[in-house]
A and B are shown apart, each in its own frame.
Chain A
Amino acid sequence: MVEYNAPIRDYEFLFNEMFDVIPIVQKLGYDFDNDFLSMLTEGWGEHAKEVWLPINQLGDKKGLDYDDGKIKMPEEFKSAYSESIEAGWLSTSCKQEHGGMGVPIFFSAVTWAEIGTSTNMAMSVLPALSIGVYEVLVEHGSKELIDYFATNLATGKWAGTMCLTEPHAGTDLGIITTKAIPQDDGSYRITGTKIFITYGEHDMTENIIHLVLAKTPGAPEGTKGISLFLVPKFLPSDWVSGGVKDLSENLMSDDNGVTCSGSEEKMGIHASPTCVMNFDESIGWRVGDLHNGMPLMFQMMNRERLATGMMGIGLAEIAYQNSLAWAKERRQGRDLKGPQEPNESADNILVHPDVRRMLLEAKVNTEGSRALAAWTGILLDQMHSEDIEEAEMAEALVALFTPIVKAHFTDLGCESVNTCMQVMGGAGYCTEYGVEQFYRDVRISKIWEGTNGIQALDLAGRKITHNMGKNLRYLMWPLTEFIENNRTIPEMEEFNKPLHQGVRGLQQLTLLMIAEGQANPHFLAAGATDYCRYFGNVLLGYMWAKMAKISLEKSGDPFYDAKIASARYFFKRIFPETAGLAARIQSGYKNLMDYPVEMM
């Protein structure tokens, strides 16, 4: 039996005490308050626990049925999905005019995403994709497209997908071959094959709206020639011309040349279809300007990459809760200092330092990541501020944090689920306890939405120098001010001092990466992953020092005392890995590139 309780207290702490989100979003024009936020958090936590969690193992075992181009989802998934739509839980951040709830973005990007992936990752990606498509459409689509598609996407009546990957083009999207041929009526005919398309085909919704990357004839080479198209699976039965305005409300029934020719067998998320999609002269409409597809996709990526990072947190959280519950019951061996419970046949395994190490590593990394996620989620809202300075700051920080949130959270998530499985010994490996499923499910998060290696390159190669280093300044100024302000507080020293050293190290490594990287791009690329992890550690260090600061003022209460103990664990046992990371970065690229490739 899998256990789960949404981390509601932690979210209250983060959003209310640490980031004081209510005045921030009120200033942005939202009619939002504390009670409303906690009702949403509790309500969603309860819904997901009761509607999504009970079918998570079933989805894993049953998977989906692929038969002759059609995918049948488990019936239980269909009814749970309808129940969630009915209750309004899939469209919290969409605009009210489209049937959404108009709640600030941070709720759906962070709280919703974490709880959704914890309780049922395979299910959660469907609404996450639909909302991603909705957002691109609403921000960049023509009024006609918005009028026709937005409401059904927002309410979850129709689902969305993102079709980027092709058989020969995964990371390197510049070489895609899917073609879009313009028609006289303003529409396009799309032809090509896309692979690995999540929820490309299914029977959860009556229509599926694909966002497809394709190239128009004569478009520039590489990513600069890519445009973005919206291609529905079905068209209305009475559809005659290419104009969207001529689309009617009639039931979609005419095939649009979109077919699914296969569904992958895979390691995890068995109830999330991964499809080969063929577009055969399918009718579509351009979203945004010609040849501007990649920037638009990247915009969507900020949101999707945070969502992917939340998968790391979500699965680490549920794995932790279950391995902790199991550990509390398990007795093996004796406390090395002498039996704790001599009347029992053995002591509880929490007496063993190594078991505590594993559990705390998962707990502390997950809570630290959640704090940074909360901040990033609020920044996503602030990006829309009318106050230009606030919007610029938010945009710069989101750009900087996105690769770290994606790569570091999913690395930590995979490591945490792995350690939680280890806590449980053989039981962790067995299906009954659920943790082995989380291990398989979480693994994809390091691969999709741009592999973690690519995230690291994005950070080291683009984000730190981007904007003449302005991104970095928006972080470094408040961070160094925080360190300065805490220098004279004795209780903060154990957190502030290592953080200070870590920040100084980060500054030196950044200079090294830029200087050496300019001379030799292999240097930068060889150090990128370690640099990204170093940066991630510094950001989590900043979060833990801040959490410790708040908690020190409230010590005596078990919640805050645990936060202080967690901060201590972080700085003593996790943060020191930065020294090793720095050494690896400094070791350069030769140990990699001089290795005789024929001997690999």
Chain B
Amino acid sequence: MNIAVLLKQVPDTTAKISVSGGRVDENSVSKWSMSPYDEYALEAALKLKEAGGGNVVAISAGPSRCEKLLRDAAAVGADDLVHIMNDDINNLDSTQLQKLLAAAISKSNSSIVLCGKQAADTNSGSTGPGVAEILGASCMTMVSEVTKDGEDYLATRPSSSGHEKVAVSAPCVFAFDKGVTEMRRPNVRGIMMAKKKEIEIWSAADLDVDLGNSNVTINSHSPPPEKPPGQKFEGADSVSTVVAKLRDEANVI
């Protein structure tokens, strides 16, 4: 069975974002990147494959720009690339998107699915659990590591007393927090192979998904409040002031 990884292309954290009409102006985004938690998921998927076999299937939904993201995934070792082509991805609601992803996962013959716990742009955190619901799979959230344990999988996630290792069997979705290993760097050979790799392009119709109408409407957007200016203290004399502030104002000590 294969290992699916869900990858989202988001504006790079270093790119300047401009907003028009309450939405990020896509045309003004100078650089798109893989959402950081997805990178951990991809690395974990590659490790699982190295340990236990199966193909890593990288799946991304979005417009044609996502091809670069899929090729980046191939450059570090993803075997199969699936592009769910949708030019209007931002106007799909979470359920519609999850239907597409779930259908692609099934079609790719994958029994376990890895993804980031949330995307760096929308931060809704619903994709992993939502996809699991549709697939009828178990779902582990906030995962930092997955290993194979016989036929089962062992996932490391936070617990009230530190970390717990939870055994789970396929089918399962693992939504990744910051993982234990950073995504590996691509090498030139990987990049050359990625360039030649076929990308499966699937539409909603290819996946037999009826998207229906969106159930979500956004009433209003507001930018985050401006950060209040920081305060700077220098020299040994200021220690008592800093301590007082940390205790009385910030409530951290």
Interface residues of A (CB under 8 A from B): 9, 31, 33, 35-36, 38-40, 43, 46-47, 50, 86-89, 91-92, 101, 344-345, 557-559
Q: Which of B31, B191, B232, B234 contacts A43 (CB 8 A)?
A: B191
- Determine whether the beta carbon of A43 is less than 8 Å from that of B30: no
Distance of A540 from chain B, by nearest CB (Å): 25
Find chain A residues with CB under 8 A from B30 CB: 9, 557, 559
Q: Give the residue name and chain of the A residue nearest to B76 (CB).
A: A43
Find chain A residues with CB under 8 A from B43 CB: none
Q: Give the residue name and chain of the A residue nearest to B229 (CB).
A: A343
Q: Range of interface residues on chain B?
A: 20 to 34
- Determine whether the beta carbon of A87 is less than 8 Å from that of B188: yes
Find chain B residues with CB under 8 A from A50 CB: 185
- Determine whether the beta carbon of A39 is less than 8 Å from that of B191: yes
Find chain A residues with CB under 8 A from B189 CB: 87-88, 101
- Determine whether the beta carbon of B31 is less than 8 Å from that of A39: no
- Determine whether the beta carbon of B232 is less than 8 Å from that of A344: yes
Residue of B71, B186, B232 with most chain A CB atoms under a 10 A cut-off: B186
Interface residues of B (CB under 8 A from A): 16, 28, 30-31, 67-68, 71-72, 75, 185-189, 191-192, 194-195, 232, 234
- Determine whether the beta carbon of B28 is less than 8 Å from that of A557: yes
What 6 A-B pairs come out closest when comparing CB atoms?
Answer: A88-B188, A87-B187, A43-B186, A35-B68, A39-B191, A36-B195
A558–B72 Cα distance when bound, in Å, is 27
Q: Give the residue name and chain of the B residue nearest to A84 (CB).
A: B187
Known interface pairs A40-B191, A43-B191. Does A9 touch B31 (Cβ–Cβ under 8 Å)? yes
A50–B27 Cα distance when bound, in Å, is 31
**Main SS of the interface on chain B?**
helix
- Determine whether the beta carbon of B188 is less than 8 Å from that of A35: no
Known interface pairs A9-B31, A35-B71. Does A86 touch B195 (Cβ–Cβ under 8 Å)? no
Find chain B residues with CB under 8 A from A345 CB: 234
Known interface pairs A101-B192, A557-B30, A558-B16. Does A39 touch B71 (Cβ–Cβ under 8 Å)? yes
Q: Give the residue name and chain of the A residue nearest to B16 (CB).
A: A558
A51–B16 Cα distance when bound, in Å, is 28
Known interface pairs A101-B192, A344-B232, A557-B28. Does A39 touch B75 (Cβ–Cβ under 8 Å)? yes
- Determine whether the beta carbon of A38 is less than 8 Å from that of B68: yes
A92–B189 Cα distance when bound, in Å, is 10
Listed A/B pairs (29) with beta-carbon separation below 8 Å: A9-B30, A31-B195, A35-B68, A35-B195, A36-B71, A39-B71, A39-B75, A39-B186, A39-B191, A39-B195, A40-B191, A43-B185, A43-B187, A43-B188, A47-B185, A47-B187, A50-B185, A86-B187, A87-B187, A87-B188, A87-B189, A88-B192, A89-B187, A89-B188, A91-B188, A92-B188, A101-B188, A557-B16, A557-B30
Given contacts A89-B188, A557-B16, A557-B28, 17 further A-B contacts (CB under 8 A): A9-B30, A9-B31, A35-B67, A35-B68, A36-B195, A38-B68, A39-B194, A39-B195, A46-B185, A47-B185, A86-B187, A87-B187, A88-B189, A101-B189, A101-B192, A558-B16, A559-B30
Known interface pairs A35-B71, A557-B28. Does A87 touch B185 (Cβ–Cβ under 8 Å)? yes
Q: Give the residue name and chain of the A residue nearest to B234 (CB).
A: A345
Distance of B79 from chain A, by nearest CB (Å): 17
Residue of A9, A87, A91, A92 with most chain B CB atoms under a 10 A cut-off: A87
**Main SS of the interface on chain A?**
helix
Find chain B residues with CB under 8 A from A47 CB: 185, 187
Residue of A86, A88, A559 with most chain B CB atoms under a 10 A cut-off: A88
A46–B191 Cα distance when bound, in Å, is 13
Residue of B30, B186, B191, B234 with most chain A CB atoms under a 10 A cut-off: B191
A35–B68 Cα distance when bound, in Å, is 6
Q: Give the residue name and chain of the B residue nearest to A13 (CB).
A: B30
Distance of A33 from chain B, by nearest CB (Å): 8
A558–B68 Cα distance when bound, in Å, is 24
Find chain A residues with CB under 8 A from B195 CB: 31, 33, 35-36, 39
A345–B189 Cα distance when bound, in Å, is 54
Find chain B residues with CB under 8 A from A88 CB: 187-189, 192
Q: Give the residue name and chain of the B residue nearest to A51 (CB).
A: B185
Find chain A residues with CB under 8 A from B31 CB: 9
Q: Give the residue name and chain of the B residue nearest to A36 (CB).
A: B195
A565–B67 Cα distance when bound, in Å, is 34
Q: Which of A36, A86, A91 contacts B191 (CB 8 A)?
A: A36
Q: Give the residue name and chain of the A residue nearest to B189 (CB).
A: A88
Find chain A residues with CB under 8 A from B28 CB: 557
Residue of B28, B67, B71, B234 with most chain A CB atoms under a 10 A cut-off: B71
A558–B15 Cα distance when bound, in Å, is 11
Q: Give the residue name and chain of the B residue nearest to A100 (CB).
A: B188
A42–B56 Cα distance when bound, in Å, is 23
Distance of A89 from chain B, by nearest CB (Å): 6
A558–B30 Cα distance when bound, in Å, is 10
Distance of A280 from chain B, by nearest CB (Å): 39
Find chain A residues with CB under 8 A from B192 CB: 88, 101
Find chain B residues with CB under 8 A from A89 CB: 187-188
